[in-house]
Structures are given as structure tokens and as C-alpha cells.
Amino acid sequence: MLDLLRNSFIMFSILPFFPFILVFFIYLKWKDNKRDALLMAMDVTTVFLIVSVSALFNNIFDLKFGFYLILLFLLIAVGMIGGAQNRMKGKVDVTRMLRAVWRMAFAIMTCSYILFAIIGLFRYIFKSM
């Protein structure tokens, strides 16, 4: 059972669009709301994108701190959005702040995944020539 979970997590991290599609259609069937299904699919897929982008980053640049670099950027984003909320409203809405950072991370990680996958593919092709 543990191997099945581990292998599923690895597969979903390698191909993060699979959990997106899976969660989207299951949630859509369950709740019958496209917007909520899309948001839920984005939230779930972000975890797999973070793992995948950090692995691609480590592989392309031959480094070992891709995951920690992403966490650092997420913490900086939390601080910046929290500071902006505090200046504008005088208080910090933690739920909205975390949701904003998480959804922003989805967008950035999706672009990074596509970019790093293309770079990694070209690097693999030229390395094998």
C-alpha cells in the first residue's frame, strides 16, 4: 500500500497535469461547478508542481537546493502579500494571503515546469549527440 502511494506521488510529480485533470473531473462530477473544480484542481496540482519544478531545477543546473529555493520564494511572497495587506487594511487575513500565494505559485510553477521541461529536453538531446 505504501509503495502504491509513493509510486503514485512520483508519477503525479513527473506528469503534474494528470492530477490536475483527475481532480478537475472528479470534483466537477461531485459538485457540478466548473469554477470550484478548476480552483480545487489548481490547489492540488501545486504540490506536485513544486516537487517537479524543484527536481527539474536540480537536474538542469546540477544543484541540490531547488526545493528550498522554491520554499524561500514562497515565504518571501507570503511576507510581501502580508505586508501589503497590513498596510492597506490594517490587518492580515491569513486565509486570503495563503490562498493568493498558493494560486500565484501554481501559475509560476506551471510556467517554470514548461520552461524547465523544454530546457531539459534540449539539454538531453544535445548531450546525447
pLDDT digits (tens, 9 = 90+) for 19-32: 999 999 999 999 99
| Structural domains counted in the chain | 1
CA distances from 68 to 65, 75, 118 (A): 5, 10, 22
Provide the pLDDT for residue 88: 95
Give the structural domain span for 78: 1-128
pLDDT digits (tens, 9 = 90+) for 100-114: 999 999 999 999 999
Provide the pLDDT for residue 104: 97
